[in-house]
Amino acid sequence: MTSAELTTAPTPSALRIPGPATPYQGDIARYWDGEARPVNLRLGDVDGLYHHHYGIGEVDTAALGDPDDRESEKKLIAELHRLESAQTDVLLGHLGDIGSGDTLVDAGCGRGGSMVMAHQRFGCSVEGVTLSAKQADFANERAAELGIDDRVRATVCNMLSTPFATGSAAASWNNESSMYVDLDDLFAEHSRVLKAGGRYVTITGCWNPRYGQPSKWVSQINAHFECNIHSRREYLRAMADNRLVPQAVIDLTPDTLPYWELRATSSLVTGIEDAFINSYRDGSFQYVLIAADRV
């Protein structure tokens, strides 16, 4: 299936779906349209893959070199970016058997780094959705620069109501974007778009039900990003209610902590690093991958 068959809109001018459905979604669109922190751009400038998520894996201390080296900050940024792309590799590795004729959906695609990596890995078409026109324009311009804009495309629309045909996607994902929506509505839409047997994957931060309630650190993260972090239990319940059967639930918390500890020593600090580090260490917050099949 081609991307043209997947969408209801064949021309670029038709891609701008009418605005957000709720005042909150309007706020989120404005937040990301106006977001000007350099962190994502400086990391993406390393190799042209622009992500809006965090990293996993052990830090390669040899790659960092001597802290007194005048190139040390550049090397640190390159290592942070490597860990971000490693995170995407893990997500893509859980999508299953994807062919070049398949189409994937990235819900909350940001500036498109994960979409580019998915196309490079599988040779497939990838459709991304975001509320931010600024992000969509960036992702589409980058795809054009790479000569893959016939296979990779970002659309401005609400991920809870996409223009894609029912049962038309081989796989779909949310990469740190599900905290902006109601999970029942989100998984209902993924379940609609996915073909029977299609795979859904999310990597997300979630608060730990065993902690009792969201911790003060989780509340700080919510306020910083204007989001609403869900519990792990809420993810599993909403999936079960929408014909998505988990095949893997993986705690990536130990794998992401090195990324945050390294980032806290860089020039890219945004003031939220301590909240992530402290909540991961005290167990109130978890970084989780869930892969589920559409039945």
Burial class (CB in 10 A: 0-12, 13-18, 19+), 295: exposed
The residues facing 152 across adjacent strands are 126
46 pLDDT above the threshold of 90 = yes
> What's the N-to-C CA distance of the chain in angstroms?
20
Question: Are 288 and 250 within 8 A, CB to CB?
Answer: yes
Q: Check residue 11 and give its pLDDT.
A: 33
pTM: 0.92
pLDDT of 45 above 50: yes
Tell me what the mean pLDDT of segment 46-59 comes to: 96
- Retrieve residue 288's tokens: 């989780």
Residue type present at position 92: L
Q: For residue 244, what pLDDT band results from cuts at 50, 70 and 90?
A: very high
How far is residue 25's CA from residue 20's CA, in Å, rounded to a whole number?
Answer: 5
Q: What is the DSSP letter of 178?
A: G
**pLDDT at position 20:** 67
Look up residue 239 and give its two tokens. Answer: 């999936």
Sheet of 125-130: strands edge to edge? 152-156, 125-130, 103-107, 169-175, 194-207, 285-294, 244-251
pLDDT score for 3: 42
**pLDDT tops 50 at residue 2:** no
Place of tokens 């497939």: 124
Residue 40 confidence (pLDDT): 84
Question: What's the confidence (pLDDT) of residue 179?
Answer: 97
Specify the amino acid at residue 182: D
What is the pLDDT, as a whole number, of residue 36? 73
The pLDDT tens digits for 8-40 are 333 333 344 446 678 898 889 888 988 877 788
Is residue 118 scored above 90 in pLDDT?
yes
The runs of H, that is alpha helices, within the chain are: 3-6, 23-34, 39-44, 61-64, 72-93, 113-122, 133-146, 183-193, 216-225, 232-240, 253-263, 273-282
User: Among 9-18, 148-157, 197-206, 285-294, where is mean pLDDT lowest?
Assistant: 9-18
* pLDDT value for 67: 80
Question: What percent of the chain stands above pLDDT 90?
Answer: 83
